[in-house]
């Protein structure tokens, strides 16, 4: 087991805890860098999707996992980001301008829903955000002069610093780069006063308020950041799909996003990536196993949705910390081997993190 002897306060602020962190993250970076050279183009596409969902997941994690505000309407921000990007690219904006604009506009929409949501919590907030998502979906479908309605609209290629992003692996690098930036931003938020204020709101609003946290300001801010990150993901998603229509951004996507953060592990940034991998890989796994299943089950419509639901129930019942929680436990098991005690994690509850971030 590793014991860290702290000698300066900087050690609690740093991004890595010890040399091992640098090594493993370095290795991960290297693997991501060489992936397009090694992997089939199909898998690169899947990795791109994973990165895109993880970007949105970071946004939702900040809101749900860290601020404790549930949202069933994140597909709306995804959609706003995607359509803003598509429209602006069509209007001839450069990617470096249209992409941040997509995020900012989604963020502004996030403020618009965040303000009326200030007085709502729990189930009521879930319903309000859900209703909001339906409104946005309807606007996307009806505002035909801009969005072309259900007909959908094509999305032009990114041209970045004179280079056309027209291949799968190029978009992959863009998505990974954005994911890393978004992760860094989230990490910085979490280790600074704003992040602590968000966690404070999650755990006790009266205490947060009595310590001088402006609840209205920080809740609105949480909605804004969350929506902006999700909007960025939406913009990349538009480029991934090449053709977008309102039915890509429905309630099902909102639920998928929420599943992602819950299954990945609420209150951890690692969990976002695990959750994204899960969300993208599960349909693949189901597709593979479908051939093996008896035709009675395999031919049922809605098999995927049923599986998602089943897994969500199992996770909430048995592993409230999600995949990341399981990962920590496995790590702990090997760290203390052979002294692992069964009761080590007996008192855990949901909404917890065993180590920071």
Partner 1 sequence: MGLVEANNLVIQFGGIRAVDDVSFNIDQGEIYTIIGPNGAGKTTIFNLISRIYDPAAGTITFDGQDITQEMPHRIAQLGIARTFQNIELFENATVLDNLLLGCHRHCRTQFWQEIVFLPVVRRQELEHREKVEEVIDFLGLQHYRDQFVRSLPYGVRKVVELARALATEPKLLMLDEPSSGLNVEETQDMAFWIRDIRQQLGITLLMVEHDMKLVADVSDRVLALNDGRVIAEGSPSSVQDNADVVKAYLGE
| Chain positions contacting partner 1, by CB under 8 A | 9-10, 12-13, 185, 188-189, 191-197, 199-200, 202-204, 206-215, 221, 267, 347, 349, 351-353, 356
Phi-psi region of 5 (alpha: psi -120 to 50; beta: other; left: phi over 0): beta
Nearer to partner 1 by Cβ, of 192 and 284: the residue is: 192
* Pick 57 or 73: Cβ nearer partner 1: 57
- Is the Cβ of residue 148 or residue 353 nearer to partner 1 in the bound state? 353
Return the structure tokens found at 10.
């900087």
> CB of 66: closest distance to partner 1 in angstroms?
10
Nearest to partner 1 of 19, 212 (CB atom): 212
CB of 101 vs partner 1, minimal distance in Å: 17
Q: Which is nearer to partner 1, 162 or 342 (CB)?
A: 342
As measured in angstroms, the least distance from the Cβ of 200 to partner 1 is: 5
**Least CB distance to partner 1 at residue 173 (A):** 22
CB of 51 to partner 1, least distance (A): 20
Nearest distance from residue 329's CB to partner 1, in Å?
A: 16
């Amino acid at each position: 087991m590793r014991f860290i002897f702290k000698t300066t306060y900087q050690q609690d602020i740093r991004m890595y805890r010890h040399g091992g962190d640098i090594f493993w993250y370095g290795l991960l970076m290297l693997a991501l860098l060489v992936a397009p050279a090694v992997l089939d183009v199909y898998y690169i596409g899947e990795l791109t999707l994973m990165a895109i969902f993880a970007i949105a997941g970071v946004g939702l994690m900040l809101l749900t996992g860290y601020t404790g505000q549930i949202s069933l309407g994140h597909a709306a921000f995804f959609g706003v980001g995607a359509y803003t990007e598509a429209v602006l690219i069509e209007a001839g904006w450069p990617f470096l301008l249209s992409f941040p604009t997509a995020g900012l506009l989604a963020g502004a929409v996030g403020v618009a829903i965040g303000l009326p949501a200030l007085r709502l919590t729990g189930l009521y907030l879930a319903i309000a955000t859900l209703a909001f998502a339906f409104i946005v979906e309807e606007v996307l479908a009806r505002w035909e002069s801009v969005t072309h309605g259900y007909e959908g609209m094509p999305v032009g290629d990114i041209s970045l610093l004179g280079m056309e992003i027209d291949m799968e692996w190029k978009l992959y690098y863009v998505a990974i780069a954005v994911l890393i930036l978004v992760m860094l931003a989230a990490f910085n938020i979490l280790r600074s006063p704003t992040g602590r204020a968000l966690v404070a709101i999650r755990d006790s609003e009266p205490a947060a308020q009595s310590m001088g946290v402006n609840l209205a300001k920080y809740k609105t801010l949480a909605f804004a950041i969350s929506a902006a990150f999700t909007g960025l993901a939406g913009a990349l998603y538009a480029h991934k799909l090449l053709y977008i229509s309102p039915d890509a951004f429905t309630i099902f996507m909102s639920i998928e996003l929420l599943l992602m953060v819950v299954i990945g592990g609420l209150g951890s940034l690692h969990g976002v990536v695990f959750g994204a991998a899960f969300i993208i890989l599960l349909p693949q796994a189901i597709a593979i196993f479908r051939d093996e299943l008896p035709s009675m089950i395999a031919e049922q419509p809605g098999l995927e949705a049923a599986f998602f639901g089943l897994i969500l129930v199992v996770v909430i019942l048995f592993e409230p910390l999600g995949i990341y929680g399981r990962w920590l436990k496995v790590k702990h098991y090997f760290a203390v081997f052979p002294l692992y005690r069964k009761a080590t994690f007996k008192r855990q509850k949901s909404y917890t993190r065993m180590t920071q971030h």
